[in-house]
C-alpha cells in the first residue's frame, strides 16, 4: 500500500507538477502547466457528485487539499480518475502511455484471482515499466539520480511477492490504518490516553475470544442489526432484488404504459393488442430505488425521476445493464442470432407490473409479477485503444430508452465530466469480470 499509493503515485505527481526535489524536467516534456493541473484537480473534486458513494470516499481537490488525500483516495484516483483526466493533457503522449501501462499492471495485481501467466505478465511488465521510467524521468543523468528512490526498485519484487503470499488484495488492505481506526474510539481520556487505549484493546480481545469460544458472535455483536426497510417490497419471483421507497402514489401515464407494453410484448411474444388488453387488469406501480441482494453489500440503484435528493448527494442513477441483441435484426428473413451485449445508461423508471390472475394471451397460468427498469442508454464513442480493457468508456449524449427486466441491471457505474464547459463524459465501471453475465445460448441453458 505505501509502496504504490503513498510513494510512487505521489512522486509521479510531484514530477508532473515540477515539485520533485527541485529538479526541472531536463530533456523531457512531462511537466503539466499550472492551469492544466488545477483543472485536473478541480475535475477530481467535482467528480465526487457523479460517482456513487459505494465507490468510496469523496476525493478532494488534489492540488489544494493534497495533505488530506488518503491512500485509499490515491488508489481510486490512480485506477479510475487519472486515466480519464490525464488523457490528452501531456505535451508528449509517451508519458500518458507510461502511466496507463502502470494502471494496467495494478489492475492485474488487484484481481481477485490471478494465474501463473498473469504473474509473469506482472513480472515482465514492471521490468519494462521501470526501464521506461528511467528513460523518461532519470534520463541516465547522475544529477537526476534522486528520481530513482528505493520504491522504484521495489516494484520489481511485486510479482515474487504474489507468488509467495498470494493476490495482493490479501495484504494491500490498509491493515494498520484500519486497526488505528478501530482503536481510536477507545481513547476516552485526554489525560490518560494510553491507559484508555490499552484497556480498549484488552477488552476487545477478551470479547473476541468469548464470541469465538462460545459461538455467540451475533448475540454479542455491538453493531446494530439491519432490519428490513419500512415500505420495501420483495417478490419471491425476484430473489436477487428488493424494491425500496419512495413509491409513486399515481399510476404511470399513457406514454410509460406504452413502453411497458412493448417490453412485455417482446418478452412474451404476444401481440401489442393482447398486452394492452391484459394491462387494463394489471396493477402497475412505480418505485424509486432497487437494491441488489445477490451479495451482503449489493448496489442500491436509484431512479432519476422519482424522489428527492439532498444537495450533497452522490449520483446513483447510472448503471451497467445487459441485453440479448439480435445480430440479424436488419435481415427480417434470417433466423435470430442472439448475442449478449453490455450497455450503460441512466435509470429513469422502476416498474412493478402484477397480473392478479392467469392471463392466457400472455401464456400466464397463475398470478405473475414482472419488475421492469427503464434505462436511457448512453451513446458510447468508439473505444479508445489506449484504455481498452480498463472499463472506461466515453459518451456525449443519450440515445434510446430500453425497458428491460430488473435482473438485467448489473451494477452501479460512476461518471466523470472531462471538461467543465462540455458535455463529454467518461463512464467508470469497477465491477470487473466477476460481475459479467455469460450467455450460453438457448440450447445450453
| pLDDT category of residue 445 using cuts at 50, 70 and 90 | very low
CB 272, CB 265: distance < 8 Å: yes
pLDDT at residue 184 in the model: 85
For the cut 60, the answer to whether the pLDDT of residue 436 exceeds it is no
Q: Write down the pLDDT at residue 439.
A: 39
What local confidence, expressed as pLDDT, does residue 444 receive?
42
Do 314 and 48 contact (CB within 8 A), yes or no? yes
Q: Residue 310: its pLDDT value, please?
A: 82
pLDDT of residue 297: 63
Residue count of the chain: 445
Among 301, 285, 281, 294, smallest CA distance to 231 is for 285
Quick one: pLDDT at residue 327?
78
* Backbone phi, psi, residue 416, to 5°: -130, 125
CA atoms lying within 13 Å on the CB side of residue 199: 10
pTM of the model: 0.85
Banded pLDDT at 295 (limits 50, 70, 90): low
Axis-axis angle for helices 272-279, 254-268 (nearest 10): 120
Give the mean pLDDT of 354-367.
91
Query: In this predicted structure, which of 49-58, 77-86, 254-263, 435-444 has the lowest mean pLDDT?
Result: 435-444
Q: Which residue is listed with cell 494491500?
A: 172
Residue 438: pLDDT band with limits 50, 70, 90: very low
Q: Residue 145's pLDDT is what?
A: 95
pLDDT at position 435 over 60: no
Question: pLDDT for 119-170, tens place per residue?
Answer: 999 999 999 999 999 999 999 999 999 999 999 999 999 999 999 988 888 8
pLDDT digits (tens, 9 = 90+) for 370-395: 999 999 999 999 988 889 889 999 99
Which three three-digit cell numbers place residue 184?
481510536
E strands present in 64-127 = none
**Bigger pLDDT: 38 vs 440:** 38
Please choose, from the candidates 8, 41, 39, the residue with its C-alpha nearest in 3D space to the C-alpha of residue 172.
Answer: 8
Amino acid at each position: 500500500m505505501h509502496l504504490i499509493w503513498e510513494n510512487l503515485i505521489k512522486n509521479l505527481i510531484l514530477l508532473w507538477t515540477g515539485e520533485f526535489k527541485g529538479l526541472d524536467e531536463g530533456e523531457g516534456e512531462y511537466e503539466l502547466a499550472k492551469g492544466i493541473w488545477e483543472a485536473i484537480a478541480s475535475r477530481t473534486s467535482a467528480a465526487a457528485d457523479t460517482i456513487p458513494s459505494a465507490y468510496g470516499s469523496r476525493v478532494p481537490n488534489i492540488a489544494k487539499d493534497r495533505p488530506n488525500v488518503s491512500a485509499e483516495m490515491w488508489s481510486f484516483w490512480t485506477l479510475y480518475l487519472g486515466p480519464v483526466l490525464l488523457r490528452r493533457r501531456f505535451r508528449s503522449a509517451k508519458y500518458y502511455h507510461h502511466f496507463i501501462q502502470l494502471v494496467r499492471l495494478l489492475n492485474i495485481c488487484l484481481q481477485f484471482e490471478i494465474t501463473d501467466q498473469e504473474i509473469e505478465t506482472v513480472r515482465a511488465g514492471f521490468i519494462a515499466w521501470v526501464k521506461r521510467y528511467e528513460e523518461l524521468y532519470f534520463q541516465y543523468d547522475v544529477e537526476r539520480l534522486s528520481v530513482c528512490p528505493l520504491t522504484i526498485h521495489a516494484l520489481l519484487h511485486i510479482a515474487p511477492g504474489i507468488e509467495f503470499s498470494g493476490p495482493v488484495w490479501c495484504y494491500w488492505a490498509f491493515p494498520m490504518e484500519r486497526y488505528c481506526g478501530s482503536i481510536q474510539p477507545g481513547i476516552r481520556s485526554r489525560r490518560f490516553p494510553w491507559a484508555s487505549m490499552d484497556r480498549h484493546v484488552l477488552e476487545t480481545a477478551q470479547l473476541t475470544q468469548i464470541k469465538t469460544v462460545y459461538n455467540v458472535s451475533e448475540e454479542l455483536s455491538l453493531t446494530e442489526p439491519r432490519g428490513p426497510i419500512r415500505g420495501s417490497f420483495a417478490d419471491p419471483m425476484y430473489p436477487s432484488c428488493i424494491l425500496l421507497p419512495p413509491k409513486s402514489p399515481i399510476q404511470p401515464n399513457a406514454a410509460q404504459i406504452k413502453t411497458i407494453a412493448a417490453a412485455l410484448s417482446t418478452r412474451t411474444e404476444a401481440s401489442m393488442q393482447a398486452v394492452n388488453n391484459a394491462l387494463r387488469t394489471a396493477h402497475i406501480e412505480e418505485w424509486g430505488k432497487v437494491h441488489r441482494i445477490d451479495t451482503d453489500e449489493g448496489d442500491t440503484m436509484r431512479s432519476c425521476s422519482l424522489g428527492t435528493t439532498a444537495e450533497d448527494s452522490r449520483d446513483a442513477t447510472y448503471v451497467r445493464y445487459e441485453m440479448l441483441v439480435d445480430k440479424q435484426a436488419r435481415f427480417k428473413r434470417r433466423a435470430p442470432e442472439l448475442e449478449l451485449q453490455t450497455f450503460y445508461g441512466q435509470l429513469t423508471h422502476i416498474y412493478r407490473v402484477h397480473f392478479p390472475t392467469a392471463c392466457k394471451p400472455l401464456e400466464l397460468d397463475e398470478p405473475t409479477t414482472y419488475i421492469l427498469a427503464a434505462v436511457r442508454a448512453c451513446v458510447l464513442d468508439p473505444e479508445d485503444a489506449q484504455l481498452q480493457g480498463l472499463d472506461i468508456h466515453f459518451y456525449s449524449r443519450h440515445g434510446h430508452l430500453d425497458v428491460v427486466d430488473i435482473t438485467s441491471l448489473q451494477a452501479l457505474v460512476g461518471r466523470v465530466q472531462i471538461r467543465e464547459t462540455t458535455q463529454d463524459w467518461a463512464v467508470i465501471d469497477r465491477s470487473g469480470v466477476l460481475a459479467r453475465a455469460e450467455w450460453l445460448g438457448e440450447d445450453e441453458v
